Amino acid sequence: MQPASQPTSSDAPADGGEPGSAAVKARRISDGASAPVLPDCCNVGILLRILLPLNLAGGLLALAMGSGWADQGRRLLEIGAVLEPVALVSLVALCGMRKTVNGKPQRVQWLVGLAVPAALTLLVCLMIGRLLVPDLAPGAFALWVAARCLIAVALAALTIEFFRLRALSLSPSLAEARLQALQARIRPHFLFNSLNTVLGLMRADPRRAESTLENLADLFRVFMRDTRALVPLDEEVVTCQQYLAIEQLRLGDRLQVKWDTDRMQGDALLPALLLQPLVENAVHHGIEPRTEPGEITIIVSQPGERVRVEILNPAEEQQPVRPGNQMALSNIRERLLLLYDMEAELKTSEENGQFRLLLELPYRKERRRRDVRRHIDPDR
């Protein structure tokens, strides 16, 4: 096992050049800087959460203001003619600007988030306003335009604040994930068992004892990593292999592992310490309670623009005394909800004595592929 001496993904230049503002910004965010103000308008789940309430509110407003079916239809057309293009174009514009604006002072982020819909509302009202309200005098028309710009600013502020508060309400799951990595992942019995295994190998197989210590050191380094960082998929797979290599020394023939990574895209980015807890659950709940050998199958593939991880392990014959498995899965679901909203899912099922876990998330490619990777030697 060779230590990971190469820079992490947050240290590498985002555009392939010298380490600059993008890398610094990534480090600042992962080191605990303020969360971005603007929601991720490229996310399908967030788009639906914005567009559906806006259209529903516009329809209810038209029904409330209209005095009859004809008047309600006219008002609905008037509201939709301004609301739809402004909302759609604003989301597209903020989707493209979010990465540039993130890391700026919060007042700058707020200014951009409010100015884009206000400017688009002004532009749309000036272009089609006379078609919608041809009878208004110039002064009344100016008030009509100003009112809609103020409404756009107010709706944008409410939307940004809603998603900001929503992210804050979900963010404790990241701190919990870090605490879980330090407490649950580095369990004292796992450390002691690993060290006892190394002591037993020191004279009989010094080379294997040395590689086990290297694996253990690398695992501790990964466990201390900020769980908000995004890391390449192949590094997460190596972390899982290191963990399983140590557990195989302890469990012997009881633990059998089958990997299927032929269709894996190693440059896909995902949250740090996302897969290892799932593999650990498979060991502790599928293998440890058994006296006979059991197999864990891990399949990593990329169907289209999705990353899919499937983990199969023997189902527990008896219900666990501790609900640790469900707590870990619940924590991971919260992390996925915070980072991917509706674009990621984690499903579990049990059939024919097999526990099946299916994880899917969007494929986000690492911008600058590194030449040197951590790797595990299967012959050691």
Render pLDDT for 8-65 as a digit per residue (tens, 0 to 9): 333 333 344 433 434 334 333 333 445 678 888 888 888 888 999 999 988 898 888 8
What is the arithmetic mean of pLDDT over 164-178? 64
Most confident of 93-102, 290-299, 314-323: 290-299
The Cα-based distances of 266 to 226, 233, 270, 320, 362 in angstroms read 20, 5, 11, 34, 14
Mean pLDDT of the chain, nearest integer: 77
Please indicate, yes or no, whether residues 75 and 213 belong to a single structural domain of this protein: no
What pairing do the DSSP bridges indicate for beta strands 294-301 and 269-271? unpaired
**pLDDT above 70 (res 180):** no
Does some domain include residue 22? no
Domain boundary among the residues 170, 191, 217 is at: 170
Does some domain include residue 352? yes
Side-by-side strand order, sheet with 354-362: 255-263, 294-301, 306-314, 354-362, 345-351
Alpha helices per DSSP H over the chain: 21-30, 44-65, 69-101, 106-132, 138-170, 172-180, 188-201, 206-223, 233-251, 276-286, 324-340
Please indicate, yes or no, whether residues 353 and 313 belong to a single structural domain of this protein: yes
Please indicate, yes or no, whether residues 331 and 352 belong to a single structural domain of this protein: yes
pLDDT of amino acid 100: 85
Please indicate, yes or no, whether residues 327 and 355 belong to a single structural domain of this protein: yes
Tell me the longest C-alpha to C-alpha distance in the chain.
96
**pLDDT above 80 (res 344):** yes
Element (H, E) at 362: strand 354-362
Domain boundary among the residues 137, 170, 203 is at: 170
- Find the CATH number of the domain harbouring 303: 3.30.565.10
Which amino acid, one-letter code, is at 106?
Answer: Q
Sequence-distant (≥ 6) Cβ neighbours of residue 130 within 8 angstroms: 141
What residues pair up with 346 in beta bridges, in sequence order?
Answer: 359
Please indicate, yes or no, whether residues 75 and 131 belong to a single structural domain of this protein: yes
Domain boundary among the residues 152, 170, 188 is at: 170
181-191 in b/e burial notation, b at 16+ Cβ within 10 A? beebbeeeebe
What is the arithmetic mean of pLDDT over 67-85? 87
What residues pair up with 308 in beta bridges, in sequence order?
Answer: 301, 360
Does some domain include residue 18? no
Structural domain harbouring 223: 173-362
Please indicate, yes or no, whether residues 160 and 191 belong to a single structural domain of this protein: no
What residues pair up with 297 in beta bridges, in sequence order?
Answer: 258, 312
Contact (CB, 8 A) for 109 and 37: yes
What is the arithmetic mean of pLDDT over 210-223? 74
pTM above 0.85, yes or no: no
**pLDDT above 50 (res 163):** yes
Does some domain include residue 195? yes
What is the arithmetic mean of pLDDT over 354-377? 70
Q: How far is CA 98 from the centre of its chain?
A: 16
Which amino acid, one-letter code, is at 377?
Answer: D
Does some domain include residue 374? no
Considering the chain, what percentage of its residues have pLDDT values greater than 70? 75
Please indicate, yes or no, whether residues 245 and 138 belong to a single structural domain of this protein: no
Which value, in Å, is the radius of gyration of the alpha carbons in the chain?
26
C-alpha 377/C-alpha 195 separation (Å) is: 20
C-alpha 121/C-alpha 150 separation (Å) is: 9
Does some domain include residue 339? yes
**pLDDT above 90 (res 310):** yes
Tokens of 54: 């806006």
Does some domain include residue 17? no
Domains held by the chain: number:
2
Please indicate, yes or no, whether residues 352 and 291 belong to a single structural domain of this protein: yes
Considering the chain, what percentage of its residues have pLDDT values greater than 90? 25
Tokens of 346: 């984690």
Task: Match 């009509």 to its residue by tokens.
Answer: 144
C-alpha 334/C-alpha 173 separation (Å) is: 6
Please indicate, yes or no, whether residues 155 and 183 belong to a single structural domain of this protein: no
pLDDT of amino acid 35: 64
Does some domain include residue 376? no
Please indicate, yes or no, whether residues 116 and 181 belong to a single structural domain of this protein: no
Q: What are the backbone angles phi and psi of residue 64, rounded to the nearest 5°?
A: -75, -35
C-alpha 300/C-alpha 262 separation (Å) is: 8
Please indicate, yes or no, whether residues 210 and 317 belong to a single structural domain of this protein: yes
3-state class of 309 per DSSP?
A: strand
What is the arithmetic mean of pLDDT over 364-376? 55
CB atoms under 10 Å from CB of 359, counted, come to 21
Please indicate, yes or no, whether residues 212 and 161 belong to a single structural domain of this protein: no
What pairing do the DSSP bridges indicate for beta strands 306-314 and 294-301? antiparallel
Q: How far is CA 373 from the centre of its chain?
A: 23
Tokens of 235: 């590094």
Render pLDDT for 116-151 as a digit per residue (tens, 0 to 9): 999 999 999 999 988 888 888 988 999 999 999 999
Contact (CB, 8 A) for 118 and 156: yes
Contact (CB, 8 A) for 35 and 339: no
What is the arithmetic mean of pLDDT over 56-84? 87
What is the arithmetic mean of pLDDT over 254-271? 90
What is the arithmetic mean of pLDDT over 153-167? 89
**pLDDT above 50 (res 276):** yes
